[in-house]
Amino acid sequence: MEYIHTIRVAYADTDQMGYVYYGNYARYFEIARTEALRSLGISYAKMEKEGIMMPVTNFTVKYSKAALYDELIFIKVQINELPDRFIVFKYIVENEQNDKLCEAETRLAFVHADTIKMARAPQYLIAGIKEKLS
């Protein structure tokens, strides 16, 4: 499953050199994965109301080139396998010149909101991803 999210780099997201501050990528990835799920008709807010939370358990990133103020960047979000107790999102960020800016991966767990114990992915999430993987 693949989804591309577009973001224009805001001045507030940059450091003194005009580069995107490295910590802002985590927020960019959260926005992109939320919209990727929304493109499947799935809402984080709905899952939370149903008592399922998705904390990040692992986050890795490799930076290749800086994203700049006012630059349009494209975040390709990939889900390459069906979730069970975890879901893995892969990200590739490019600019308008198709330069790869970074690659990243997040792993999120499914947990019950009331107990914080492991849960299984909701069936509608699995079905939505399965349909896109076919």
Q: Which residue reads 């890795």 in tokens?
A: 60
- Are the CB atoms for 3 and 39 separated by under 8 Å? yes
- Are the CB atoms for 91 and 34 separated by under 8 Å? no
Hey, which residues are catalytic here? 15
Phi, psi angle pair for 46, to nearest 5°: -65, -45
